[in-house]
């Protein structure tokens, strides 16, 4: 390159227009996109995150809480082994495996038998160690057994089953059902177990932290009916993939098995603790699981994300 060419090249560099600056906000838009992605992901995570640690074991689509197999005071007829939950769409399926059938175990109780109490679902942030905390709007009850003593069912006249909100609970263990006056009395009788004490409430300390060691409330006294439930047979549960034999908790069809399904649309999303007791407080199980949003909810997240991404690209 000769001297004349060099001078011409330097002049051209000096007079060339500077590169156009990015449009206002373009850099901010690019920085905003990852933040929005994280925000939407965070919302999705919060929506499905369990509300409690030590969640039930997930196997074959079911959440299982496995209880001790030798903590049913009274022996045969009073042992509970497993509580399981599965969500399919907006239907929740529950199964209880134990020695006590729906009709109850014959006993010198006021109805001539002791039955399984109600199932309580706690979506709140607090424990249920005192009676008044069951009245929280985030605590629900499912009466699935027309033979128990709930809602003043003294002579078999109240057979209403279903999902209830705005509930109150009652202790009918002693003397009504010949059971323990307190949970501590059950432990004092030698039935506390160092592990699987009450399913997902693994130790007696876990149980006492959550439910206290005083009166236990196996039955609803009142409540507002939200929806009905559908009974599930052992065949139904087997077709839904329930596999208690995997845990040694009784293969489907070999032991008393209680099953039912409920519409989840009226329940909150997120983690919950479910538990039940026999009316005599001779055994019970707790399970920790979650109700997840239906797929349409996640589709809305996707639509929002796609729209946000498109707007940011147009700005860029």
Give domain status of residue 230, yes or no: yes
Mean pLDDT in residue range 252-260: 77
Give domain status of residue 46, yes or no: no
In sequence order, which ranges of the chain are alpha helices (DSSP H)?
3-15, 26-48, 183-186, 204-211, 234-239, 295-315
Mean pLDDT in residue range 204-216: 98
CA 290 vs CA 58, 100, 204, 211, 287: distances in Å: 11, 26, 23, 20, 10
Mean pLDDT in residue range 75-94: 96
What is the pLDDT, as a whole number, of residue 112? 86
What is the pLDDT, as a whole number, of residue 239? 96
Give domain status of residue 13, yes or no: no
* pLDDT exceeds cutoff 70 at 258: yes
Number of domains within the chain: 1
The band of 285, judged by pLDDT with boundaries at 50, 70 and 90, is very high
CB 261 within 8 A of CB 93: yes
What is the pLDDT, as a whole number, of residue 55? 66
Region of poorest pLDDT, from 186-190, 208-212, 249-253, 311-315: 311-315
Give domain status of residue 94, yes or no: yes
Give domain status of residue 28, yes or no: no
What is the pLDDT, as a whole number, of residue 301? 43
| Distance separating alpha carbons of residues 309 and 303, to the nearest angstrom | 10
Share of the chain above pLDDT 90, in %: 68
Give domain status of residue 15, yes or no: no
Mean pLDDT in residue range 306-313: 48
- Residue 39 DSSP one-character state: H
What is the tens place of the pLDDT at every residue in 19-37? 444 444 444 444 434 444 3
Give domain status of residue 283, yes or no: yes
Give domain status of residue 282, yes or no: yes
| Distance separating alpha carbons of residues 302 and 209, to the nearest angstrom | 40
CA neighbours within 13 Å on the CB side: how many for 39? 8
The reported pTM is: 0.78
What is the pLDDT, as a whole number, of residue 255? 64
User: Which domain covers residue 216, as residue numbers?
Assistant: 51-293
Mean pLDDT in residue range 78-89: 96
The band of 307, judged by pLDDT with boundaries at 50, 70 and 90, is low
């Amino acid at each position: 390159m000769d001297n004349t060419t060099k001078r011409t090249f330097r002049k051209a560099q000096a007079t060339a227009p500077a590169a156009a600056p990015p449009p206002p906000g373009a850099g901010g838009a690019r920085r905003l996109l990852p933040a929005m992605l994280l925000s939407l992901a965070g919302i999705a995570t919060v929506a499905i995150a369990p509300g409690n640690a030590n969640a039930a074991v997930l196997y074959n689509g079911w959440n299982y809480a496995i209880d001790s197999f030798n903590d049913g005071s009274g022996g045969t007829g009073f042992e509970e082994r497993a509580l399981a939950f599965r969500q399919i769409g907006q239907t929740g399926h529950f199964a209880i495996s134990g020695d006590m059938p729906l009709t109850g175990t014959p006993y010198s109780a006021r109805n001539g038998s002791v039955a399984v109490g109600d199932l309580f679902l706690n979506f709140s942030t607090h424990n249920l160690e005192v009676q008044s905390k069951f009245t929280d709007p985030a605590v629900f009850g499912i009466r699935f057994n027309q033979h128990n003593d709930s809602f003043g069912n003294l002579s078999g006249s109240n057979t209403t089953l279903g999902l209830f909100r705005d509930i109150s609970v009652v202790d009918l263990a002693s003397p009504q059902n010949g059971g323990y006056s307190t949970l501590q009395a059950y432990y004092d009788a030698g039935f506390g177990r160092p592990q699987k004490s009450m399913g997902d409430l693994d130790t007696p300390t876990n149980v006492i932290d959550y439910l206290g060691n005083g009166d236990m409330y196996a039955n609803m006294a009142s409540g507002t009916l939200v929806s009905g439930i559908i009974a599930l047979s052992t065949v139904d549960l087997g077709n839904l993939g329930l596999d208690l034999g995997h845990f040694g908790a009784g293969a489907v069809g070999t032991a008393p098995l209680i099953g039912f399904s409920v519409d989840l649309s009226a329940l909150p999303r997120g983690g919950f603790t479910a538990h039940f007791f026999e009316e005599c407080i001779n055994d019970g199980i707790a399970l920790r699981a979650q109700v997840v949003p239906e797929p349409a909810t996640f589709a809305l997240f996707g639509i929002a994300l796609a729209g946000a991404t498109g707007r940011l690209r147009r700005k860029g």
